């Protein structure tokens, strides 16, 4: 595991130099522009009503109110208020990093994958399916996100052992994980955050979202199987490869118990979410409990568990606080009473458009914005306060609105040059961005079609709740 982490750290540094644009800077510029806009756009407000605990704007009720422009000093106060308002989600994101760090410290995941990668009794198809299942689960639950870079060397090892090019090894890890993460129907920092902002029950609407997730994963698995078979048929595979094995890593009963504990805890939380309406706070508490349990099973000392957990939290501070930064924009728009006029303007603009087309348009706009704001959680915090009332006015359910943002972010993750994680993974695999883009283009095209169909179905069935 330490060897993998060293490779990860070495890869991350050059990648960071290639992608200097900070999402914080972009969000701060938007924040300042939003404050300026409060002095230009006429102030207004919708009347609101509460249905089943969810606040909805009443269509056609927009009326003018006194201008309340935001002063420069209030911009920085808005940042503080945005962080405070997003505290439950921020801590959930941090605790996700803490849990992952403790799991990684036990070596359970790395050992299991290394053991699998050195097996010589598995066919190409079966190996691809196994990796697809493992990393799709890790991605869709948010367990492996930025840390996927650490596992890329394992994929490269598998590719070398089979005589396949590095791009296949990269895809075995990164693309299969992205297939799960891009929909992330159980991801707390993506789906959980976006639904929280839209006032939806945590992980509601799981059936359609789960089917979409499955289709994403199947697309990658089938594409890799066909590609590898074509390579073998065309003689693009080297047969004279000998892999120098590092020290063998045997998976132990302790490792299996750790993985089983994580799986059982995840199932328990899903049951709690449906039956007991557990939400963000319960998930954060469960992550703390699971971190302690995993650490004890892995024979880590109390101090080691605490220090590792805090170290993992620190790795996601940037991603956590960007939610607060994006939330500050919403605070400024609301303080200046221009959020509702913006929503009203967009509603009038899109009023002649059928709801299905409007949903696809929101999805495309979220995708385009993700090239500039590489943080999915930050983009959700920025867009949902605008998209939620906009969707309400256009006749879209909140569940559909949430999905337009989630899929818009997800579809771009595997092709965005502003993604530090993607650039780091490519640096680790020594693959050019152009070569990678050419390789994944068919997959992304199919994903795009799946996204559009999912949204059209969501609109057609009035996907709920709300």
Per-domain residue ranges for the chain?
A: 69-335+417-437
Neighbours of 71 (CB within 10 A): 10
Query: C-alpha distances in angstroms, 212 versus 185, 194, 217?
Result: 9, 17, 9
- Give pTM, 2 decimals: 0.72
In sequence order, the 6+-apart residues with CB closer than 8 A to the CB of 91 are 284, 320
Residue 26: the pLDDT is 79
Read off the DSSP letter of residue 172.
I
Rounded distance, CA 149 to CA 173, Å? 9
The residues facing 57 across adjacent strands are 48
Residue 8: the pLDDT is 37
Residue 172: the pLDDT is 92
Give the burial string for 328-359 (b: 16+ CB within 10 Å, else e). bbbbbbbbbbbbbbbbbebbeebeeeebbebb
Residue 449: the pLDDT is 96
Give 4-55 as a DSSP string: HHHHHHHHHHHHHHH----HHHHHHHHHHHHHHHTTTSPPEE--EEEETTEE
* Secondary structure class of 429 (helix, strand, coil): helix
pLDDT in tens, the chain (466 residues): 333 333 333 333 444 444 445 778 878 988 999 999 999 999 998 887 887 777 777 877 888 889 889 999 999 999 999 888 888 878 877 887 788 789 888 888 777 766 665 655 667 888 899 889 988 888 887 766 666 776 787 788 788 877 889 999 999 999 999 999 888 777 777 888 788 888 888 888 889 999 999 999 999 999 999 999 998 888 766 544 444 444 555 678 888 899 889 888 878 877 777 677 777 788 788 889 999 999 999 999 999 999 999 998 887 787 778 778 878 888 898 899 888 888 888 888 887 889 999 999 999 988 988 887 767 777 787 788 888 888 988 899 999 999 999 999 888 888 988 777 788 788 878 888 889 999 999 999 999 999 999 999 999 999 987 7
């Amino acid at each position: 595991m330490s060897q993998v982490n060293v490779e990860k750290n070495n890869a991350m540094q050059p990648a960071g130099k290639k992608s200097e644009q900070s999402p914080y800077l972009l969000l701060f510029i938007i924040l300042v522009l939003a404050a300026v806009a409060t002095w230009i756009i006429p102030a207004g407000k919708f009347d609101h009503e509460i249905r089943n605990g969810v606040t909805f704007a009443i269509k056609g009720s927009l009326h003018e109110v006194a201008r309340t422009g935001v002063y420069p000093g209030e911009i920085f106060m808005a940042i503080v208020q945005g962080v405070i308002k997003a505290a439950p989600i921020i801590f959930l994101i941090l605790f996700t990093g803490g849990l992952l760090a403790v799991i990684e410290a036990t070596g359970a995941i790395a050992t299991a994958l290394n053991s699998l990668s050195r097996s010589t009794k598995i066919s190409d198809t079966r190996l691809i399916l196994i990796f697809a299942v493992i990393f799709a689960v890790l991605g869709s639950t948010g367990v492996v996100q930025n840390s996927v870079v650490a596992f890329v060397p394992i994929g490269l090892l598998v590719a070398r052992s089979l005589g396949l090019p590095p791009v296949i090894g990269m895809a075995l890890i990164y693309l299969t994980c992205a297939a799960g993460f891009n929909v992330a129907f159980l991801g707390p920092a993506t789906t959980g955050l976006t639904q929280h902002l839209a006032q939806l029950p945590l992980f509601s609407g799981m059936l359609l979202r789960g089917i979409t997730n499955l289709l994403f994963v199947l697309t990658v698995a089938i594409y890799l199987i066909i590609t590898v078979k074509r390579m073998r048929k065309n003689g693009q595979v080297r047969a004279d490869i000998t892999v120098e094995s590092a020290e063998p890593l045997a998976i132990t009963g302790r490792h299996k118990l750790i993985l089983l504990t994580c799986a059982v805890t995840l199932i328990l939380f899903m049951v709690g979410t449906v039956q007991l309406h557990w939400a963000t706070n319960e998930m954060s508490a469960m992550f703390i409990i699971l971190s302690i349990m995993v650490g004890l099973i892995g024979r880590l000392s109390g101090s080691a568990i605490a220090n590792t957990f805090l170290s993992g939290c620190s790795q996601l501070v940037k991603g956590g606080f960007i939610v607060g930064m994006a939330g500050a924009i919403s605070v400024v728009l609301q303080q200046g009473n221009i959020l509702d006029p913006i929503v009203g303007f967009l509603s009038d603009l899109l009023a002649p458009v059928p709801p299905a087309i409007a949903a696809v348009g929101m999805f495309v706009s979220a995708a385009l914005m993700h090239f500039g704001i590489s943080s999915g959680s930050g983009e959700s915090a920025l867009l949902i306060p605008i998209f939620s009332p906009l969707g309400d006015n256009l006749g879209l359910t909140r569940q559909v609105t949430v999905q337009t943002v989630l899929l818009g972010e997800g579809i771009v993750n595997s092709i965005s040059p502003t993604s530090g994680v993607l650039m780091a993974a490519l640096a680790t695999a020594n693959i050019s961005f152009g070569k990678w883009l050419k390789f994944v283009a068919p997959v992304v095209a199919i994903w795009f079609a799946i996204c559009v169909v999912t949204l059209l179905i969501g609109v057609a069935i009035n996907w709920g709740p709300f």
